[in-house]
Amino acid sequence: MADTESMSPLFDWLKDRAAGVLLHPTALPGPHGIGTLNGQAVRFLDLLQLAGVKYWQVCPLGPTGYGDSPYQCFSSFAGNPYLIDLDELVTHFLLDQADLAALATLPSDRVDFGGLYERKWPLLFRASERYEEAGSPPLFGDFDDFRESNADWLEAYAFFRALKDHHGGRPWWEWPAVLRSYEGALGTTLKAELRVAIQAHVFTQYVFFGQWARLRAAAAARGISIIGDIPIFVAADSADTWANPDLFELNPKTGLPLAVSGVPPDYFAADGQLWGNPLYRWDRHAEGNYDWWINRLKAVFALCDVLRIDHFRGFDEFWRIPYPAVNARKGTWAAGPGLDFFREVQAALPEARIIAEDLGMLSPTVKELHAATGLPGMAVLQFAFGDKPTNLYLPHNHTTNSVIYPGTHDNDTTLGWYAGTDEKTRDHVRRYLRVDGREIGWDFIRTSYASVSRLAVIPFQDILNLGPEARFNAPGIPAGNWQWRCSQAQIDGLFSETAPYLAALGEMYAR
């Protein structure tokens, strides 16, 4: 990459200072066990508008599988049916109010994904059957038009989900050999036999995309842009790998990965991190001008205005761990697609607004690639303290073309982090920020607003001044993540004082 320093950046979009809030829609309040795309989501947008916030950042919006992580989805293109507002299906006579009683006993302060799986899916299937019986009326535009315009991913996804249901939820590499690829499955009679289930999965996508489009329009009407998110890798058990096995490092006979993703051992993890995602055959992607990836990006930009790509480093080099493995110790660095990939993206999506997740230890070549793309990177305040003054996350080292966060979805809340860190780090925080630490959450918010970073994104839990009980995800801990939810009272309580205060901060710091 020696030639990248003299080149003009491929992307240069982050021009204006602004503030954003990070909150995944599943964490919104609501009566049916999970946040949905309903009026309470619009109420949240009203709060952001009053606070002068211009961006709402979410995690990936895809259908979650084992572990419930939005970063391990059954598809890179589909939406999450759990987010569907069922009350609207009642208004269209596709469900009865009595049907929703099945969800009434789910907890309101957290998401019980197991309970949702058992109770919401039958309701969605029931609504699909009634919708077909009613002649498929145009609730969100013509149903057949939706199906046809998304056929390049939707048909494979719906067939995959129907087959997965048919096989008791087992991963696709445990299915009979003939079904271990989309092409092979099409040669069987199962598509006809599973027509009702396939129709139901298409229907849920039709409703999700219709409801999301309306919510996005509500955000735009309030001057709010939505920041979406995608992981660089896809889940092993996904329609992506099942329908496109030649694009991944998979054993052609078993469907199992030849190698998987992760990061090597470091100061924080003696065994490294074994993520387990299958790896791309970047040579195949390059032969096709990265069409699959570009279509993936187009699909996300159809939902969002800005896109954060997780693990930017993987485009330069990635840690290749031979499969099977019990940890990430044994692996080798392999070359990613580099700048050629981003050239193709820029040619296909010249107006793309992308944020690069560039956290962690970065090699010189990763830094060169990042500079050549021109994409704004990230700075996290929780990573700034207790170290040397050269730490890039300290505010005096921030750059304008960046996004500052007190913490992300993978961090504890600021209150939780501060209480759990060592006294040396807390002392550094207090001396650097010239505070006493008694309002550390708001100290970090104010510091983020004051940063030279053009975009400051604040986790909603920090605005609510919550502790570790409100942590959204703890990486490396397999259970209990992605469950936190806020209440309607918490949102409503911010309108009178907190939202105007945030607006005043925004005015003070030109956000």
Query: Using alpha carbons only, what angle is made at residue 55 by residues 54 and 56, rounded to the nearest 5 degrees?
Result: 135
Give CA–CA dist 480/31, Å, rounded: 21
d(CA 435, CA 441): 11
Residue 251's contacts (CB-CB under 8 Å, 6 or more residues apart) are 257, 258
- Per the residue annotation, which of 357, 358, 412, 443 is the catalytic one? 357
Residues 166, 194 contacting (CB under 8 angstroms): yes
Cβ atoms within 10 A of the Cβ of 367, count?
16
Tokens of 102: 């099945």
Residues 6+ apart with CB under 8 A from 23: 44, 56, 57, 58, 459, 460, 486
Q: Which residues pair with 510 in a beta bridge?
A: none
How far apart are alpha carbons 65 and 239 in whole angstroms? 12
Cα(364)–Cα(341) distance, rounded to whole angstroms? 19
412 in active site: no
Exposed (0-12), middle (13-18) or buried (19+): which is 192, by Cβ within 10 Å? exposed
- Please check whether residue 480 is in contact with residue 438, taking contact to mean a CB–CB distance below 8 angstroms: no
Reduce the DSSP state of residue 401 to 3 states and report it: coil
Q: Tokens in use for 236? A: 């092993």
- What burial class does residue 98 get, using C-beta atoms within 10 Å of its C-beta: 0-12 exposed, 13-18 middle, 19+ buried? exposed
327, with CB counted inside 10 A (0-12, 13-18, 19+), is: middle
Is 310 considered catalytic here?
yes
Question: For residues 375 and 378, what is the distance between their CA atoms, to the nearest angstrom?
Answer: 10
Q: Out of 88, 249, 310, 412, which one is annotated catalytic?
A: 310
Please state the φ and ψ torsions of residue 175, each to the nearest 5 degrees.
-80, 165
Tokens linked to 253 = 């006979």
**410 a catalytic residue:** yes
Looking at this protein, which amino acid is placed at residue 282?
Answer: W
**Nearest residue to 248 (alpha-carbon basis) of 291, 285, 296, 287:** 285
Spell out the residues 6+ positions from residue 145 whose beta carbon is closer than 8 angstroms to its own.
none
Dihedral over alpha carbons 79, 291, 172, 193 (to 10 degrees): 70
Active site residues: 310, 357, 410
